[in-house]
Amino acid sequence: MTRILLVRHAENNYTQTGKLAGWIKGVHLNDVGRLQATTLADNLAIYPIQYIYSSPLVRALETARPIAAAKNLNVLKCTQIGEVRYGQWQGKSLRMLRRRKLWNQIQNVPSLSSFPDGESIRYAQSRAVGAVETIVGKHSKSCVALVSHADVIKMILAHYMGLALDLYQRIVVDTASISELYISYDGVKVIRINQTTKVSVK
Protein backbone atom coordinates (compact mmCIF):
# COMPACT_ATOMS: atom_id res chain seq x y z
CA MET A 1 0.00 0.00 0.00
CA THR A 2 1.17 3.51 -0.86
CA ARG A 3 -0.06 6.40 1.24
CA ILE A 4 -0.53 9.52 -0.89
CA LEU A 5 -0.86 12.94 0.74
CA LEU A 6 -2.25 15.45 -1.77
CA VAL A 7 -1.28 18.93 -0.61
CA ARG A 8 -2.53 22.07 -2.28
CA HIS A 9 -0.04 24.93 -2.38
CA ALA A 10 -0.53 27.75 0.11
CA GLU A 11 -2.07 31.17 -0.46
CA ASN A 12 -0.64 33.70 -2.91
CA ASN A 13 -1.97 36.96 -4.29
CA TYR A 14 -3.70 35.20 -7.18
CA THR A 15 -5.69 32.83 -4.97
CA GLN A 16 -6.48 35.71 -2.62
CA THR A 17 -7.89 37.89 -5.41
CA GLY A 18 -9.63 35.12 -7.35
CA LYS A 19 -7.43 34.93 -10.43
CA LEU A 20 -6.10 31.98 -12.41
CA ALA A 21 -2.34 32.07 -12.04
CA GLY A 22 -1.83 29.08 -14.30
CA TRP A 23 1.80 28.78 -15.36
CA ILE A 24 2.66 32.46 -14.87
CA LYS A 25 6.20 32.63 -13.53
CA GLY A 26 7.11 34.20 -10.21
CA VAL A 27 3.82 33.73 -8.36
CA HIS A 28 5.18 33.52 -4.81
CA LEU A 29 3.39 32.78 -1.57
CA ASN A 30 2.18 35.86 0.31
CA ASP A 31 2.53 36.38 4.08
CA VAL A 32 -0.45 34.16 4.88
CA GLY A 33 0.82 31.53 2.46
CA ARG A 34 4.26 31.39 4.05
CA LEU A 35 2.66 30.91 7.45
CA GLN A 36 0.39 28.22 5.99
CA ALA A 37 3.41 26.42 4.55
CA THR A 38 5.16 26.43 7.93
CA THR A 39 2.00 25.19 9.65
CA LEU A 40 1.64 22.43 7.06
CA ALA A 41 5.18 21.27 7.76
CA ASP A 42 4.37 21.14 11.47
CA ASN A 43 1.11 19.26 10.86
CA LEU A 44 2.80 16.73 8.58
CA ALA A 45 5.74 16.13 10.91
CA ILE A 46 4.02 13.10 12.47
CA TYR A 47 3.61 11.36 9.11
CA PRO A 48 6.34 9.00 7.87
CA ILE A 49 6.82 10.87 4.59
CA GLN A 50 9.63 9.32 2.57
CA TYR A 51 9.28 11.20 -0.73
CA ILE A 52 8.00 14.65 -1.67
CA TYR A 53 6.97 15.50 -5.23
CA SER A 54 5.96 18.99 -6.27
CA SER A 55 4.60 20.85 -9.22
CA PRO A 56 7.52 22.85 -10.70
CA LEU A 57 5.67 26.15 -10.14
CA VAL A 58 7.21 28.37 -7.49
CA ARG A 59 4.13 28.60 -5.26
CA ALA A 60 4.07 24.82 -4.98
CA LEU A 61 7.80 24.56 -4.42
CA GLU A 62 7.63 27.20 -1.67
CA THR A 63 4.94 25.09 -0.01
CA ALA A 64 6.88 21.84 -0.41
CA ARG A 65 10.26 23.03 0.86
CA PRO A 66 9.35 23.50 4.55
CA ILE A 67 7.81 20.02 4.56
CA ALA A 68 10.94 18.60 2.96
CA ALA A 69 13.25 20.48 5.32
CA ALA A 70 11.45 19.09 8.36
CA LYS A 71 11.98 15.56 6.99
CA ASN A 72 15.50 16.16 5.63
CA LEU A 73 14.28 15.23 2.15
CA ASN A 74 14.76 16.66 -1.32
CA VAL A 75 11.80 18.02 -3.28
CA LEU A 76 11.32 16.11 -6.54
CA LYS A 77 9.81 18.23 -9.31
CA CYS A 78 7.02 16.62 -11.33
CA THR A 79 5.60 18.52 -14.30
CA GLN A 80 2.69 16.07 -14.60
CA ILE A 81 1.18 17.39 -11.36
CA GLY A 82 1.68 20.99 -12.46
CA GLU A 83 -1.24 23.36 -12.85
CA VAL A 84 -3.80 23.04 -15.63
CA ARG A 85 -2.72 24.83 -18.80
CA TYR A 86 -5.41 27.51 -18.89
CA GLY A 87 -4.23 29.12 -22.12
CA GLN A 88 -5.99 32.44 -22.78
CA TRP A 89 -7.69 32.24 -19.37
CA GLN A 90 -4.39 32.41 -17.52
CA GLY A 91 -4.08 35.50 -15.34
CA LYS A 92 -7.76 36.40 -15.73
CA SER A 93 -10.16 36.97 -12.83
CA LEU A 94 -12.78 34.32 -12.15
CA ARG A 95 -15.36 37.07 -11.88
CA MET A 96 -14.70 38.07 -15.48
CA LEU A 97 -14.44 34.51 -16.76
CA ARG A 98 -17.87 33.63 -15.37
CA ARG A 99 -19.38 35.93 -18.03
CA ARG A 100 -17.98 33.86 -20.89
CA LYS A 101 -20.08 31.27 -22.71
CA LEU A 102 -17.45 28.59 -22.15
CA TRP A 103 -17.67 28.97 -18.36
CA ASN A 104 -20.90 26.98 -18.00
CA GLN A 105 -19.56 24.17 -20.16
CA ILE A 106 -16.36 23.96 -18.15
CA GLN A 107 -18.36 23.88 -14.92
CA ASN A 108 -21.02 21.41 -16.04
CA VAL A 109 -19.46 19.29 -18.80
CA PRO A 110 -15.71 19.54 -18.18
CA SER A 111 -15.10 16.17 -19.81
CA LEU A 112 -15.85 17.82 -23.17
CA SER A 113 -14.10 21.11 -22.45
CA SER A 114 -10.75 22.61 -23.36
CA PHE A 115 -9.28 25.97 -22.43
CA PRO A 116 -8.63 28.32 -25.38
CA ASP A 117 -5.01 27.74 -26.46
CA GLY A 118 -4.65 25.53 -23.37
CA GLU A 119 -5.27 21.88 -22.61
CA SER A 120 -8.43 19.86 -22.23
CA ILE A 121 -9.63 19.03 -18.75
CA ARG A 122 -9.70 15.35 -19.65
CA TYR A 123 -6.03 15.49 -20.63
CA ALA A 124 -5.10 17.32 -17.43
CA GLN A 125 -6.75 14.58 -15.38
CA SER A 126 -5.08 11.86 -17.42
CA ARG A 127 -1.57 13.21 -16.95
CA ALA A 128 -2.11 13.88 -13.22
CA VAL A 129 -3.50 10.40 -12.54
CA GLY A 130 -0.71 8.97 -14.67
CA ALA A 131 1.81 10.68 -12.40
CA VAL A 132 0.17 9.20 -9.31
CA GLU A 133 0.20 5.73 -10.85
CA THR A 134 3.89 6.08 -11.72
CA ILE A 135 4.74 7.29 -8.21
CA VAL A 136 2.77 4.44 -6.62
CA GLY A 137 4.67 2.00 -8.84
CA LYS A 138 8.01 3.44 -7.72
CA HIS A 139 7.21 3.78 -4.05
CA SER A 140 5.02 0.91 -2.94
CA LYS A 141 4.66 0.64 0.86
CA SER A 142 5.76 4.28 1.23
CA CYS A 143 4.19 7.54 2.36
CA VAL A 144 4.48 10.15 -0.39
CA ALA A 145 3.48 13.82 -0.38
CA LEU A 146 2.42 15.48 -3.65
CA VAL A 147 2.21 19.27 -3.64
CA SER A 148 -0.02 20.45 -6.45
CA HIS A 149 -2.96 22.70 -7.38
CA ALA A 150 -6.70 22.76 -6.68
CA ASP A 151 -8.07 21.58 -10.02
CA VAL A 152 -5.39 18.93 -10.40
CA ILE A 153 -6.01 17.53 -6.92
CA LYS A 154 -9.78 17.57 -7.48
CA MET A 155 -9.31 15.63 -10.72
CA ILE A 156 -7.11 13.05 -8.96
CA LEU A 157 -9.63 12.67 -6.15
CA ALA A 158 -12.53 12.33 -8.59
CA HIS A 159 -10.72 9.54 -10.40
CA TYR A 160 -9.99 7.52 -7.28
CA MET A 161 -13.46 8.12 -5.84
CA GLY A 162 -14.98 6.73 -9.03
CA LEU A 163 -16.65 10.02 -9.87
CA ALA A 164 -17.30 11.02 -13.46
CA LEU A 165 -15.02 13.86 -14.52
CA ASP A 166 -18.11 16.01 -15.03
CA LEU A 167 -18.61 15.96 -11.24
CA TYR A 168 -15.11 16.93 -10.17
CA GLN A 169 -16.05 20.58 -9.57
CA ARG A 170 -18.20 19.45 -6.64
CA ILE A 171 -15.04 18.72 -4.66
CA VAL A 172 -13.54 21.57 -2.61
CA VAL A 173 -9.76 21.81 -2.18
CA ASP A 174 -8.63 24.91 -0.27
CA THR A 175 -5.16 26.41 -0.11
CA ALA A 176 -2.75 24.52 2.17
CA SER A 177 -5.21 21.62 2.50
CA ILE A 178 -4.39 17.94 2.83
CA SER A 179 -6.27 15.12 1.14
CA GLU A 180 -5.22 11.51 1.58
CA LEU A 181 -5.41 8.27 -0.38
CA TYR A 182 -4.35 4.70 0.32
CA ILE A 183 -3.59 2.91 -2.94
CA SER A 184 -2.77 -0.79 -3.12
CA TYR A 185 -2.93 -3.63 -5.63
CA ASP A 186 -6.39 -4.60 -4.40
CA GLY A 187 -8.09 -1.24 -4.11
CA VAL A 188 -8.16 2.43 -3.13
CA LYS A 189 -9.35 4.12 0.05
CA VAL A 190 -10.05 7.87 0.23
CA ILE A 191 -9.15 8.73 3.82
CA ARG A 192 -9.82 12.48 3.91
CA ILE A 193 -10.45 15.46 1.67
CA ASN A 194 -9.59 19.13 2.19
CA GLN A 195 -8.34 19.03 5.77
CA THR A 196 -7.20 22.55 6.66
CA THR A 197 -5.76 24.44 9.60
CA LYS A 198 -6.62 28.11 9.93
CA VAL A 199 -3.74 30.55 10.40
CA SER A 200 -3.63 34.28 10.95
CA VAL A 201 -0.92 36.83 10.36
CA LYS A 202 -0.51 39.28 13.24
202 in a structural domain: no
Question: How many distinct helices (H) and strands (E) make up the chain?
Answer: 7, 6
Domain count, the chain: 1
Give the pLDDT confidence score for residue 65 in this predicted structure: 98
Task: Please give the DSSP secondary-structure letter assigned to residue 152.
Answer: H
Stretches where the chain sits below pLDDT 50 are: none
Domain containing residue 158: 2-195
Q: What is the pTM of this model?
A: 0.96
Give the pLDDT confidence score for residue 201 in this predicted structure: 62
Pairing of strands 2-8, 143-148: parallel
Give the pLDDT confidence score for residue 185 in this predicted structure: 86
Give the pLDDT confidence score for residue 193 in this predicted structure: 98
Give the pLDDT confidence score for residue 198 in this predicted structure: 78
201 in a structural domain: no
CATH number at residue 176: 3.40.50.1240
pLDDT, one tens digit per residue, over 40-84 is 999 999 999 999 999 999 999 999 999 999 999 999 999 999 999
7 in a structural domain: yes
Give the pLDDT confidence score for residue 172 in this predicted structure: 98
**28 CB-near residues (< 8 Å, 6+ apart):** 12, 58, 59, 62
- Long-range pairs for 29-33: beta carbons < 8 A, 24 or more residues apart: 29/59, 29/62, 29/63, 31/201, 32/199, 32/201, 33/9, 33/59, 33/62, 33/63, 33/175, 33/176
Q: Which helix (H) or strand (E) holds 56?
A: none
6 in a structural domain: yes
